Amino acid sequence: MKEKQKPIAKIREEFEAASEEKLPSLYALYQDDSRTGVQNLIGKYRKKEEALAKEKERTEQMKAYEKQYESRGFVCGIDEVGRGPLAGPVVAGAVILPRDCQILYLNDSKKLTAKKREELYDVILEQAVAVGIGCVSPARIDEINILRATYEAMREAIAKLPIQPDVLLNDAVTIPGVNIFQVPIIKGDAKSVSIAAASIVAKVTRDRMMTAYEQELPGYGFASNKGYGSEQHIEALKKYGPSPIHRKTFLTHFL
């Protein structure tokens, strides 16, 4: 009985310090402690475990394409960010994850918070077999159009990989001019861990670039709108005119 009356703060510390494997023994140890605080603590950690189990299952399902094609060799996910903004580059990511990849919470970068993307970006760069990033400037986008510029960014990302991939899992597109087996997957960033990882790498890279542009070109709100056509951005365009990183071919409706 003495053990059961341990201060709740101490019990909370035990739960916080416990590994996933140790939690069941803590549940058993304190299941008969009738104090509300203790039972709430047990309930909280049980819910966390349930959520973690669901996330592991979701992530495992997102490995289906990787498992399907892993016999061919290195499987690389490809995705781009920045096709729609009025300013800034289009950026593509190429990521080869290890076959036994255990990274959780990979998803379409748009479905993640900025904080979560930053956290995952560091984990991806640390654990990935290879990462490549391609970037095509606004001037080049104006020169060849956004679709061709997107393909160019993807080819650059592939070329910058330190390892040549054997299979490309692409978010919805087939990249011209690439002699590697390709699998276009509609909404691939929500169906493939490799494409999701590429989406996150591309998104964080581009967001950081646009935040840096805010320092060089203040007034347009690039740090917050990332070059997309927010109300503040449109008003700044009308007031200041286009900046050196605006896509001139995208501005005909606004100027």
Which of 204, 223, 244 is the last residue before a domain boundary? 204
Nearest to 220 by CA among 81, 91, 86: 86
What is this structure's pTM? 0.88
69 lies in some domain:
yes
Convert the pLDDT of each residue in 199-222 to its tens digit: 999 999 999 999 999 999 999 999
Q: How far apart are CA 219 and CA 201, in angstroms?
A: 27
Q: How far apart are CA 61 and CA 81, in angstroms?
A: 24
With 90 as the cut, is the pLDDT of residue 140 above it?
A: yes
Instruction: Name the residue range of residue 12's domain.
Output: 8-61
246 lies in some domain:
no
Q: 75-81 and 167-171: which strand pairing?
A: parallel
With 90 as the cut, is the pLDDT of residue 22 above it?
A: no
The per-residue DSSP string of 91-152 comes to EEEEEE--TT--------GGGS-HHHHHHHHHHHHHH-SEEEEEEE-HHHHHHH-HHHHHHH
Convert the pLDDT of each residue in 166-202 to its tens digit: 999 999 999 999 999 999 999 999 999 999 999 999 9
With 80 as the cut, is the pLDDT of residue 247 above it?
A: yes
Could you tell me if 56 and 71 lie in one domain? Answer: no
107 lies in some domain:
yes
Could you tell me if 54 and 78 lie in one domain? Answer: no
Could you tell me if 175 and 70 lie in one domain? Answer: yes
With 90 as the cut, is the pLDDT of residue 233 above it?
A: yes
* Cβ-based neighbours of 160, under 8 Å, separated by 6 or more: 94, 132, 133, 134
Per the structure, how many domains does the chain have? 2
With 60 as the cut, is the pLDDT of residue 4 above it?
A: no
Could you tell me if 69 and 158 lie in one domain? Answer: yes
User: Percent of the chain scored above 70 by pLDDT?
Assistant: 98
In sequence order, the β-bridge partners of residue 190 are none
